[in-house]
Structure 1
Amino acid sequence: MSIQRRRTRSPRGSGELLADEIIDAATDLLLDEKEAAAVSIRAVATRVGVTPPSIYLHFADKDALLDAVCARYFGQLDEQMARAEAGLDDPLERALSLGMSYIRFALDTPVLYRQAFARITADNLSKVDEILAASAFVHFSRTVGELAEAGMFPASQVADIVLEWWSAAHGIASLMISKPSLNWGDDLARAETMLRSVCLGRVVMGVAECREPDALRGFLARLRDS
């Protein structure tokens, strides 16, 4: 039988503080148990020291609570990516730094990362999607936009390239989490090489204005000769 901690009555106007405590407790429970199934309303209430009905005053159900956990997670991702691009004037180096920051963040919090991307996206953007779009997508978009302004590729391709680079970072992070025994190298060396290849390869495609292998090989051969 679980023992619920007694909790003193919160002062007037502290509903937001209690909501934060609930999100903290749900996050801790998810990290401890490593699966969303363990995050029940009753278990979270026990951790906070309130009754289950108190949880429902702030979150309609378990899904809403997990959405709040994921929204906070993506807010933290936004802060980390902002630090990753600070002081980097070269947009190509900034793109690489953003991608590596994204991967490191995922590796530091694999349980939350898996849960955040396990949430099914509806046709309309949820609050979680909006926060994610304001973090990873906005940071990548700003940098890719600068590369387009520099003539690396047409402005019409910016959204597509952002999705490609984001997918590359997400795919590498997911594989490193699920298959950590692969030869990733020291200090994420393999991941950095892969991301750099994606970034530079896309720029070459944009500058060369060719996608067919023969045309691309010809462009690279002329580049080497020059």
Structure 2
Amino acid sequence: MTERKARPTGRHHGDLRNALESAALELIAENGPQGFTLAEACRRAGVSVAAPYKHFADRDALLAALAERGYDEQRRRFGAALASTDDPVEQMARFAAAYVRFAVEERGLFEATFSAGLDKSRYPALAEAGARLLLVLQDAATQLRPDAKQALGLVHAVAASAHGFAAFVIEGIYASAREAEAQAANAARLISAGQTG
């Protein structure tokens, strides 16, 4: 009688999808969104290389799921930041600071959301998550720029500035994330008050 080999136990039991996403996030935080394979994510999660296909059609589908999760986490964080004040200029400043904090504290999600190079037209749920995120910022922006196009431009300008400060922290240009948050908030105040250019 042959002995049956015990299946290796791992953290995937009961929640394969989360185990794969967690492993991929670790790899993205270490090597960037282009710096991992599904096989590596499987090894890190302790599952077979066939396991991801129960949940993800391919590597991009896994990245899209992580990017969607990134948008949802940003929506939660930015909503809390905006709810902490009624002043729309200060709301945009707190959004900018929260953006930098998200990039530093959730490096894998940040990279998956903004650096994966996904064709977003292939992932409608991802586009919907991005639209829900914009809705959180819309009220503060329209208080400052009543025209819808200008309000969206304001959100983009503040986000682009905050993204730059986040990149500076990640690249080590700022030694302190708090300093980058403060600089991002100050830049957002200037942009929101129309004092740039």
Instruction: Settle same-fold status: TM greater than 0.5.
Output: yes
Identify if the C-alpha distance between structure 1 residues 35 and 181 changes in structure 2 by more than 3 Å, giving closer, same or farther: same
- 158, 171, 176: which one aligns with 1:178: 171
Task: Encode CA deviations 1:85-107: one digit per residue, 9 max, x unaligned.
Answer: 12422222112111211122112
Task: Encode CA deviations 1:135-174: one digit per residue, 9 max, x unaligned.
Answer: 2x222212112334xxxx5455222222222222223322
Q: Which residue of 1 aligns with 2:188?
A: 195
Q: Which residue of 2 aligns with 1:24?
A: 22
SS of 1:197 mapped into structure 2: helix
The answer for unaligned runs of 5 or more in structure 1 is 206-212, 214-226
- 85, 101, 104: which one aligns with 1:104: 101
Identify if the C-alpha distance between structure 1 residues 129 and 37 changes in structure 2 by more than 3 Å, giving closer, same or farther: same
C-alpha separation in 2, matches of 1:133 and 1:61: 24
Identify if the C-alpha distance between structure 1 residues 160 and 37 changes in structure 2 by more than 3 Å, giving closer, same or farther: closer
- Is the contact between residue 140 and residue 166 of structure 1 (CA under 8 Å) also seen in structure 2? no
SS of 1:52 mapped into structure 2: coil
Deviation of 1:179 after TM superposition, in Å, equals 4.7
Shift >6 Å, 4+ stretches: 182-185
- Is the contact between residue 42 and residue 52 of structure 2 (CA under 8 Å) also seen in structure 1? yes
Name the Cα RMSD after superposition. 3.1
SS of 2:129 mapped into structure 1: helix
- Is the contact between residue 70 and residue 109 of structure 2 (CA under 8 Å) also seen in structure 1? yes
Matches within 5 A, 1:53-202: 53-122=50-119, 124=121, 126=123, 127-135=125-133, 137-148=134-145, 153-181=146-174, 186=179, 188-201=181-194
C-alpha separation in 2, matches of 1:183 and 1:46: 34
Task: Encode CA deviations 1:91-134: one digit per residue, 9 max, x unaligned.
Answer: 22112111211122112234542342122253737333432332
Deviation of 1:23 after TM superposition, in Å, equals 0.9
The answer for unaligned runs of 5 or more in structure 2 is 1-6
What amino acid is the match of 1:175? F
What amino acid is the match of 1:190? Q
C-alpha separation in 2, matches of 1:110 and 1:90: 29
- Is the contact between residue 106 and residue 113 of structure 1 (CA under 8 Å) also seen in structure 2? yes
Q: Which has the higher contact order (CA 8 A, sep 6+)?
A: 2
C-alpha separation in 2, matches of 1:63 and 1:81: 26
C-alpha separation in 1, matches of 2:192 and 2:166: 16
- Is the contact between residue 141 and residue 155 of structure 2 (CA under 8 Å) also seen in structure 1? yes
1:7 equivalent in alignment to 2:9: yes
Q: Which residue of 2 aligns with 1:45?
A: 42
C-alpha separation in 2, matches of 1:20 and 1:158: 36
Identify if the C-alpha distance between structure 1 residues 28 and 201 changes in structure 2 by more than 3 Å, giving closer, same or farther: same
Deviation of 1:21 after TM superposition, in Å, equals 1.9
SS of 2:187 mapped into structure 1: helix
What amino acid is the match of 1:138? L
Report % sequence identity. 25
Bigger Rg, structure 1 or 2:
1
- Is the contact between residue 100 and residue 169 of structure 1 (CA under 8 Å) also seen in structure 2? yes
Identify if the C-alpha distance between structure 1 residues 51 and 187 changes in structure 2 by more than 3 Å, giving closer, same or farther: closer
